[in-house]
């Protein structure tokens, strides 16, 4: 019999392969808590709270557990909610999760529909990302305040119950509520159409839920899990932007507004004084995204040129030799060059788009990345009007440290600076991040080291992270605030 060997294969993960994306996520979470890039519709919070409440109050299940609640009750309600919205012809389908598979179930003339467990395979159906918000907002809790925890969340009396009761008051008159939510019987089309006309993503029939959610999100709170000062300020900023620019602001235009239009480089005087602080914080947040993309573009360019196994230093030198430089002078001092690169956001965006995702290298990516880094230095240095904590997000790979690197070494050449950045912020950092992922059973190596030689494995695809203000705008529209 042959010996049994250990299986060393591990699933590959591309997530945050340099460990620098988390800083942008954390910064945005500070500025816009609860509402994130995967929670764009307000409806799902009261819907989820009501599901918890109804399951506790009316299911008759003696021992509550998350798995049975999710698969046998919550996802069934969610499926029929989606089906009811489609059958009743609701026009608002933006982020109606599971609609494609559910729409495939619809057959003209069909009178009865059974629960399709495969309409959406992820946990909690359309509400998987809303569970944390229900806890943060204080609608549910898994603690009793004395150190005791519960396996299944409880509805809070002061916040969760009023929300659930307000939802129930609207839905309890429907045939679905009365006869089918705890039943395995197929549901008639008439009951589903009635359900879709009663509850939908626009929340038109849920004015009290709107009021309570608006209050929970956007009025000052003493909730121990949530300090919503920045959320309130961000909402005020969103309203100002919406009133100035109207609907349909794309992500690139939004970054331009935050980084350029209402900044010290633009028309910051047009802002109300109470928006001054939050506008500067969002300026930093966009600057942080530009920093991340500049580094990731360097990373992509390096891996594009790793064809044969080669020592790390030679790898960088060969990549630089194959690149074109017209504005950056590699053998000249860094600080004087950096001080000249005060680029507007539309120029930075164009530079990023010429190289990000899976674009082929045109030989100019290293120079563009360095110009973006220099521009960020030029934008944020000597700014006593900015929050230093926000500039420090990311630790050693931060806007603050970028400024320190250049100010502390003004006579360093651009070529030496490039080596410092690529070695410490990219190559060495990637190996550390990938090694840590191995501890959790994941393979995250984009290149490997064998006998001192770097060997290509995978290519990264840099792209912008989402901006939470997009989702905050959608939530505010749902709550009739815009």
Residue 293 has pLDDT above 70, yes or no: yes
Residue 166: pLDDT band (50, 70, 90) is: very high
pLDDT digits (tens, 9 = 90+) for 374-393: 999 999 999 999 999 999 99
Please state, in angstroms and rounded to a whole number, the distance separating the CA atoms of residues 237 and 31. 11
pLDDT at position 403: 97
Residue 206: pLDDT band (50, 70, 90) is: very high
Q: Across residues 46-50, what is the average pLDDT? A: 98
Residue 2: pLDDT band (50, 70, 90) is: low
Please state, in angstroms and rounded to a whole number, the distance separating the CA atoms of residues 163 and 176. 20
> Quick check: 394 and 20 in contact, CB under 8 A?
yes
pLDDT at position 113: 98
Q: How much is the mean pLDDT over the chain?
A: 93
Q: Across residues 207-229, what is the average pLDDT? A: 90
Give which of 405, 199, 450, 148 is closest to 295, Cα–Cα: 405
Please state, in angstroms and rounded to a whole number, the distance separating the CA atoms of residues 282 and 472. 14
Q: 471 Cβ partners below 8 Å, 6+ apart?
A: 35, 36, 37, 38, 39, 40
pLDDT at position 149: 81
pLDDT at position 322: 94
Residue 343 has pLDDT above 60, yes or no: yes
**Cβ atoms < 10 Å from Cβ of 239:** 15
For residue 154, give the DSSP letter. Answer: E
pLDDT at position 264: 84
pTM: 0.93
Euclidean distance between the first and the last CA atom of the chain, given in angstroms as a whole number:
72
Strands 187-188 and 149-155 turn out to be unpaired
Side-chain-side CA neighbours of 215 within 13 Å: the count stands at: 14
pLDDT digits (tens, 9 = 90+) for 321-332: 999 999 999 999
Q: Name the helix (H) or strand (E) containing 347.
A: helix 345-353
pLDDT at position 248: 86
Strands 112-113 and 187-188 turn out to be antiparallel
Beta strands in 3-161 (DSSP E): 112-113, 140-143, 149-155
For residue 413, give the DSSP letter. Answer: B
Q: Across residues 119-139, what is the average pLDDT? A: 92
Residue 4 has pLDDT above 60, yes or no: no
pLDDT digits (tens, 9 = 90+) for 239-286: 999 999 998 899 999 999 999 999 888 888 888 889 999 999 999 999
Residue 76 has pLDDT above 80, yes or no: yes
The helix/strand/coil state of 443 is strand
Residue 3 has pLDDT above 90, yes or no: no
Which of 143-147, 204-208, 277-281, 285-289 is predicted with the least confidence, judged by mean pLDDT?
143-147
Higher-confidence residue: 139 or 122? 139
Range among 66-70, 94-98, 163-167 rated most confident: 163-167
What residues form DSSP beta bridges with 454? 310, 449
The angle, 0 to 180 degrees and rounded to 10, between the axes of the packed helices 160-171 and 44-58 is: 90
Residue 217 has pLDDT above 90, yes or no: yes
Residue 122: pLDDT band (50, 70, 90) is: confident
Please state, in angstroms and rounded to a whole number, the distance separating the CA atoms of residues 450 and 444. 16
Tokens of 245: 């620019």
pLDDT at position 373: 98
pLDDT digits (tens, 9 = 90+) for 404-441: 999 999 999 999 999 999 999 999 999 999 999 999 99
pLDDT at position 247: 86
32: alpha, beta or left? (left if phi > 0; alpha if psi -120 to 50) = beta
Q: Across residues 343-358, what is the average pLDDT? A: 94
pLDDT at position 8: 58
Tokens 């490039």 appear where? 418
Q: Name the helix (H) or strand (E) containing 135.
A: helix 131-136
Give which of 192, 170, 166 is closest to 181, Cα–Cα: 192
3-state helix, strand, coil in the chain (%, to 5): 55, 5, 40
Strands 140-143 and 149-155 turn out to be antiparallel
Residue 181 has pLDDT above 60, yes or no: yes
């Amino acid at each position: 019999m042959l010996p049994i060997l250990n299986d060393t294969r591990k699933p590959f993960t591309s997530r945050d392969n340099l460990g620098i994306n988390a800083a942008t996520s954390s910064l945005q979470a500070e500025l816009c808590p609860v509402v994130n890039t995967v929670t764009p519709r307000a409806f799902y919070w009261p819907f989820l709270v009501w599901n918890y409440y109804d399951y506790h109050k009316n299911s008759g299940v003696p021992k509550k557990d998350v798995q049975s609640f999710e698969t046998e009750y919550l996802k069934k309600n969610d499926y029929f909610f989606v089906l009811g919205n489609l059958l009743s012809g609701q026009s608002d389908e933006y982020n109606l999760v599971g609609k494609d598979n559910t729409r495939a179930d619809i057959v003209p003339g069909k009178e009865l529909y059974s629960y399709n467990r495969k309409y959406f395979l992820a946990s909690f159906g359309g509400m998987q990302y809303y569970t944390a918000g229900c806890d943060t907002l204080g609608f549910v809790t898994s603690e009793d305040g004395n150190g005791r925890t519960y396996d299944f969340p409880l509805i809070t009396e002061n916040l969760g119950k009023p929300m659930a009761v307000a939802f129930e008051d609207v839905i309890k008159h429907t045939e679905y509520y009365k006869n089918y939510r705890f039943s395995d019987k197929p549901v008639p089309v008439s009951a589903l159409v009635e359900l879709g006309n009663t509850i939908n993503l626009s929340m038109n029939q849920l004015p009290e839920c709107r009021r309570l959610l608006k209050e929970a999100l956007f009025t000052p709170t003493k909730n121990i899990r949530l300090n919503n000062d920045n959320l309130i300020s961000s909402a005020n900023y969103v309203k100002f932007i919406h009133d100035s620019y109207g609907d349909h602001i794309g992500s690139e235009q939004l970054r331009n507004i935050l980084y350029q239009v209402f900044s010290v480089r633009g028309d910051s005087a047009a802002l109300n004084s109470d928006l001054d602080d939050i506008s500067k914080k969002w300026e930093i947040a966009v600057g942080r995204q530009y920093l991340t993309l500049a580094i990731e573009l360097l990373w992509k360019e390096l891996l594009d040129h790793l064809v044969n196994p080669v020592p790390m230093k030679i790898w960088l030198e060969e990549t630089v030799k194959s690149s074109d430089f017209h504005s950056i002078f590699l053998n000249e001092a860094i600080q004087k060059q950096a001080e000249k690169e005060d680029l507007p956001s539309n120029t930075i965006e164009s530079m990023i788009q010429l190289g990000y995702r899976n674009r082929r290298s045109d030989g100019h990516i290293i120079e563009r990345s360095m110009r973006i880094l220099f521009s960020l230095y030029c934008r944020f240095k000597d700014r006593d009007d900015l929050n230093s904590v926000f500039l420090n997000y990311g630790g050693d790979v931060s806007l603050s440290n970028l400024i320190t690197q250049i100010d502390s070494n003004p006579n360093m050449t651009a070529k030496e600076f490039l080596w410092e950045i690529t070695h410490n912020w990219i190559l060495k950092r990637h190996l550390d991040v990938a090694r840590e992922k191995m501890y959790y059973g994941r393979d995250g190596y984009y290149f490997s080291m064998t006998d001192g030689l770097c060997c290509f494995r995978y290519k990264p695809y840099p792209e912008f992270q989402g901006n939470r203000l997009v989702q905050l705008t959608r939530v505010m529209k749902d709550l009739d605030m815009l």
